[in-house]
Amino acid sequence: MAANDLIEFLKRETDDLTREYSRIQSRVTEDPGTAGDQTEENWATIFRLWLPSYYQVVTKGRIMAKDGTASPQVDVLVLSPAYPRTLLDKKHYLAGGVVAAFECKTTLRAAHLRKFFGTCIQLRHLSPNQTGTPARELRPEIIFGLLAHSHEWQGSSATPEQNVERAIIDLDAELVKRPVELPDVICIADLGVWQGMRSLLPMASKPGRFSTADADRLQLISGYIGHLHKTENQAATFTPIGALLSVLFQRFAWKDPLMRDLESYLRLANILGTGVGAMRHWPADVLSKELVTALASRRLTNGVMFDEWSMGPH
Q: Domain residue spans in the chain? A: 5-206+219-282
pLDDT of residue 301: 40
pLDDT of residue 32: 85
DSSP 8-state secondary structure symbol assigned to residue 301: B
Average pLDDT over residues 294-305: 52
pLDDT in tens, 65-81: 999 999 999 999 999 99
What pTM does this model have? 0.89
pLDDT of residue 313: 37
Contact 167, 224 (CB under 8 A): no
Per-chain mean pLDDT for the chain:
88
What is the C-alpha separation between 237 and 269, in angstroms, rounded?
8
What is the C-alpha separation between 281 and 10, in angstroms, rounded?
35
User: In the chain, pLDDT over 70 holds for what percent of residues?
Assistant: 88
213 pLDDT band (50/70/90 cuts)?
A: low
Strand-pairing partners, residue 148, are 105, 188
128 pLDDT band (50/70/90 cuts)?
A: confident
Cα distances (Å, whole numbers) of residue 263 to 52, 250, 276: 12, 6, 21
Query: 143-151 and 98-108 as β-strands: parallel, antiparallel, unpaired?
Result: parallel
Average pLDDT over residues 206-230: 72
Average pLDDT over residues 172-195: 96
Average pLDDT over residues 91-113: 97
Q: What is the CA radius of gyration of the chain?
A: 20
> Edge-to-edge strand order for the sheet containing 74-79?
92-94, 56-64, 74-79, 98-108, 143-151, 185-188, 192-201, 219-228, 276-282
